[in-house]
Amino acid sequence: MVWGGGIRSAHYTIRGTATLLFQPASRTLNLANAFVQDTFSITPTLKLIGGLKLEDDPYSGLAVLPDVRLSWKATDQVLLWGGVSRAIRSPTPFDRDVIEKIGPRVFLVGGPDFQPETLTALRSGPGSRPSRACRSRSRPITMSMTT
């Protein structure tokens, strides 16, 4: 089993111009995460890897990010695998705090309505090891994104 976590604090100040500014111009963003992952041998040739990451972001709150993978070692030289995972793109200061002007008119305004984008990724592929010195892996990916 592997587990861990982290905390990141980033302070920024953006000096805007007459046409591009941020409101507020200064902010401290705190991000925290924790994760756990383990591998389970179902049979000698079939393994299940499960993981979970919890991420607390100042713009999107708590995000639950699971990851599950299954691998089957068909022979000593061939491995087949597949997996599904969830990821998010959290809003940034540009998405929430930006104000852009064209002349005296406000052209673009960020705001609290900007929501995180989520991604569900389905991955699968073969792996092969024709010799000890040579290994290859193919990774076709199918993704579904929602906002």
DSSP 122-135: EEEEEEEEEETTEE
How many C-beta atoms lie closer than 10 Å to residue 55's C-beta?
20
* pTM of structure: 0.76
What distance in Å separates the CA atoms of residue 21 and residue 113, rounded to the nearest whole number? 19
pLDDT of residue 140: 56
Rounded to 10 degrees, what is the CA torsion of 5, 27, 88, 115?
150
How many C-beta atoms lie closer than 10 Å to residue 22's C-beta?
19
Contacts of 9 (CB under 8 A, 6+ apart): 28, 29, 30, 31
Question: Whats the size of the chain, residue-wise?
Answer: 147
* pLDDT < 70 positions in the chain: 128-147
Q: Could you report the per-residue pLDDT of 88-122, keeping only the tens digit for each?
A: 999 988 888 999 999 889 988 988 888 888 999 88
